[in-house]
A = this chain, B = another copy of it.
């Protein structure tokens, strides 16, 4: 590890790994200079902390790096923004394999068309990875606050598998590959965000903290209620996993016209989203299959 650490022990170390050489890009300086994207910018930052978001017993550094990028790209996806650049600061003990972590960050960024352009590396007793993702807002941004009565509620895929993986891995139980990767290597629903925006979606949020909690957040921001008629539970997961397990990086969105939604998803050749319910005018009405639904979920 010493070699990797020494090579990477300055901000330049991270910047030097950035392979992008488009005109205007400056590497190895105090900061990176990138060309004017010519559109509004969409920007978010999220950190992953050892012992809170990941456990080094069953995560590889590469997976941690890739996921640190994915959780941020998922936020851009929920806005329908095109990822451009990623920066990362890394705090880690000397024995930690920073080189693999950076490979994961680079691979994670490349997967969504973005590039690592800078960052910082420093020592710490536990691993803390912070990623900032910057995107270009070419499509109308999806907000949390736009849901209107009678809109249909969509979710981009079945939920709960990441939660099953977390329970099983932390209990040292056997877990199949598909379930394990739902937690360790999720995908951000970038194309789904684009399709939702093109389909005139009225609001969106990523379901990283749990379906119930994030649905309530969207409803709070929009001042509406909802009736969920169908909870999309992943095969192998329980209703509780799907409702409040968290770590599912699917998108939840609302849209007035389901046929336009089907059309735009088909155009991008991606799986159609699941229709799970309806937006209600009364913000007090928040139900799942006729029963009141509490905002259970994962608060770090």
Contacts and interface: CB of A to CB of B under 8 A. Distances in A.
Interface of A: 9-12, 24, 26, 28-47, 49, 51-53, 74-76, 78-79, 81, 85, 87-91, 117-120, 122-126, 128, 130, 132-135, 137, 141, 143-145, 204-206, 209, 217, 221, 299-300
Nearest to A300: B122
Given A28-B221, A34-B41, A36-B40, A89 B46 contact: yes
A151 B117 CA distance: 30
Q: How many copies does the complex hold?
A: 2
B33 A36 contact: no
A122 B42 contact: no
A206 to B, nearest CB: 6
Nearest to A135: B31
A69 to B, nearest CB: 14
A39 to B, nearest CB: 6
Pairs A-B, 6 closest by C-beta atoms: A130-B130, A31-B44, A47-B89, A30-B75, A132-B132, A30-B78
Given A118-B44, A125-B51, A31 B81 contact: yes
B132 A87 contact: yes
Contacts of A79: 26, 29-31, 33
B34 A43 contact: yes
A118 B26 contact: no
